[in-house]
Structure 1
Amino acid sequence: MERDLIQQTTLLSTKEEYIAWEQRCDEFIESLEEQSRIKRPRLSIGNRQSVIARIARLESLKDSVRGRFVYVGAGYGLRWREIETAFESRILTGAVINSNHIDPRRFLEDASETVIERVQCIMRALSRILNLNVNANKLNPLRAGCHIKLPREIMLKRAVVNVQSKDTACFAWSVVAALHPAESYTYRTSSYPHYSSVLNLTDIEFPMTFSQIKKFENHNDISVNVYAIEDGIIPIRLAGRKRNKHVNLLYVQDDIEGHFALINNLSRLVRSQISKKKNRKYFCDSSSAKLELHSVDCGKLNDCAIRLLSEDDKWLEFKKHCRKERVPFVVYADLECALEKMDKDPASSTYTYQHHNVFSIGYYVHCSYDNSLSSYRFHRDKDCVS
């Protein structure tokens, strides 16, 4: 859950989305505090400190995200946060939430007044202080760096190219592997041109963070989709507009850092999640000829695809009448006639003995999609059909 909240910060674009995200964050923090307060079963010291550190990280994340959507005054980057715990010795636990400082020395200098003020408040209530511990927790937003070995089930599918780079530019190497595919030794950086000679990386810092991908797309006219491994393969970042150059990446993490790898066959990677058959599947971000035809059909207002006839296939057959579309207009017409007796012709063996004289006509026009267009009309006259 904590990882999902951190990841979602890169996707927030409106204040309404931020408010909903902050509510989810507060609910998760409240569940962590409830976990830290529980007395039975009691958490170990290590687990309890881990819970406190997670609360502090999320509070710091909230402050940094709040600055993007809500105006905050000067000095808001540091604040004190008390955390209730179930220590037997009734030790008061608190955290200084930092959302601006990066250098630990500068942070401790600026936070000293806040810490001293809180310690003085504690001293007024206590006779003496036996011990004071200061823990610093770094907020590490979702980013990617060095080489990470892929899970065995992913490797066996042979659908992902994992370039083993020695730097933190695994994102750039994966994109280059998509633009300039290698026939052999696809995991070596020496099989590809250096990313600096292929890509425009102006104002891009490595390791790559999700917030920089949009800038990278605009600089290079490339659309990038990112997938992750959770309960199967799921998309965690989809491009707003698919461009002529499109890349699918897989984001994997260990306990320390994240890593990008190239998905060179999305169908093979996720096919087993939707079907047991081994036929190729076409997804909405696949650059196949079938998808291009599908995209043309989807752009039409009609819900049926149009396929023109060819010389080899020029006969149309239709059997499933239940799938016929209703015609927009139907006309029901009727005539009223008077029978006129005719004189017999003595020179002929056959003759007309009655003649139908039309004196009235009526018709009803029915519209299947708008009843206001339906109407009935009639006319009585000896020349009503002329």
Structure 2
Amino acid sequence: MKEDLVKTTQSLFKISKSQQEIDTFLKLNKRNEVIILQKLHSTDLSVGEKSKLENILALLKSLSKQIKRKQTSGQGIGPSTSASNSTNTTSNSPSVVWKMISSAFRSRIQTGAIINLNCIELDQFLEESRPLLKTKIIQNLKTLGPIKLNVKLCATYELPSTGEEDYKYFVSCNKEILKVDSIDEIIKQLFETILSKSEEFQHRGSGWKYVGTSFLLVCINKFSPLNGVTYIALPSWLESKGLINIKNNDKRCFVWSILAHLYHVDVDKENVLSYPQSVHDILNLRDIEMPVKISDISKFENQNPNISINVFGIDSSSKSIIGPLYHTKQVKPHHINLLYFKIR
């Protein structure tokens, strides 16, 4: 059913020329959006089904935006296929536009589509999308702190032997974004991945030829970096930083690190047996689950009024310590800096 809806909508988009046809298309597309939204919020969907419905919803919204743009610019309806067609658009009108997309994923903070209005080549579309994507990332970083982000490109391809057209999707991996000054490099990596996958698709003998880009789906997810579980050997470049890395085999990495600060020892610093074992007599851990999450650190500080905590992370690519990922509101007599590290 979903595939039929997409094909029918795509066909109507191509043939809609007159004002009456455009109005009919927009009404039908709006009704289809409602149908997809209802399905999207069903409770029995698999991850794959949710993802497909998100794709369709973004596609429907992009077609509505594109048909309105072509109507306004006087180009007529249908994809531009040459540079000369794009010159008819108003010079000060945007080439891309942001549209919010509803999502059924609980960990999702925000889903949006950067919709292509008049870019012909893929690299041109990505370049035009860059400042808009950066703005959205900065807004979420300032409001929510560290995030995870991935993008998905939807582009139209044609099979010259049959004339068949279809939408193909190219997805990047998730990227953790912890600070504003890393955004440009991360966007560059995301776009390089998309371009590489698109080129690989065309060059591996598929027969499909690139026609144009519909949208870039932007998925911004929650990122809770602190979930310290057990001992992990640190990379060699951290060995000279004077860190104490407790060799525990339980889920109390956070607790042992706190005790290592409170009870200084001169030898065997990484051995859990070097520190008091009566943890609950020393620390108030009421209602704090192990392993400790970053969202529980403020609760820990409230329950242990002489202790304040900052948590830092690492950037493996630049071999540097970054953060803080968590910053205390008030420095107390026992102020502790922790380092969060996980195996990628």
TM-score range, shorter chain: 0.3 to 0.5
Tell me the TM-score normalised to structure 1 length: 0.35
- Larger C-alpha radius of gyration, 1 or 2? 1
Tell me the TM-score normalised to structure 2 length: 0.38
**Looking at both structures, which has the greater relative contact order when contacts are Cα pairs under 8 Å and sequence separation is at least 6?**
2
Higher helix share: 2
